[in-house]
């Protein structure tokens, strides 16, 4: 179980070695997420249209170990953009990956950029 989580480590934008071309902007739902396979990892990409921002995180929920975060609901908690797992409603910061419920597990987050109508995910 932990071997899956060990594959996912947050990537600060300053450490990006490659920008993975995920898909055209039109393939992502407004104010929602979609899953993209980057090498051997599933990455959830979120088009937070209400805020005019994009986010990416691991798709695996660290609590239930299911690939479901891309199907969760996005929103805000005291100004922090968040994703709620559709299985148990645990919430995570889309900026830092921090568990907003105060529990000790978190998610990996990745930088996102949009250029020429395409979404790119920062990887190492």
Per-domain residue ranges of the chain: 13-123
Task: For residue 35, name the pLDDT band (cuts at 50, 70, 90).
Answer: very high
Ranges 5-9, 74-78, 110-114, most confident? 110-114
Q: Determine how β-strand 32-38 pairs with β-strand 18-24.
A: unpaired
CATH H-level, domain 13-123: superfamily: Rieske [2Fe-2S] iron-sulphur domain (2.102.10.10)
Q: What is the 3-state secondary structure (H, E, C) of 70-118?
A: HHCEEEEECCEEEEECCCCCCEEECCCCCECCCCCCCCCEECEEEECCE
Per-residue pLDDT at 80 exceeds 90? yes
Alpha-helical segments (H) within the chain: 2-6
């Amino acid at each position: 179980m932990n071997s899956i989580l060990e594959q996912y480590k947050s990537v600060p934008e300053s450490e990006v070695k490659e920008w993975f071309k995920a898909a055209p902007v039109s393939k992502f739902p407004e104010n929602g997420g979609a899953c993209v396979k980057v090498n051997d990892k599933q990455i959830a990409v979120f088009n937070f249209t209400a805020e005019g921002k994009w986010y990416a995180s691991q798709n695996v929920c660290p609590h239930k170990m299911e690939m479901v975060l891309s199907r969760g609901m996005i929103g805000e908690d005291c100004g922090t953009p968040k994703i709620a797992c559709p299985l148990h409603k645990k919430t995570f910061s889309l900026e830092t990956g921090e568990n907003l419920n105060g529990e000790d597990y978190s998610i990996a987050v990745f930088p996102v950029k949009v250029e020429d109508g395409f979404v790119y995910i920062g990887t190492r």
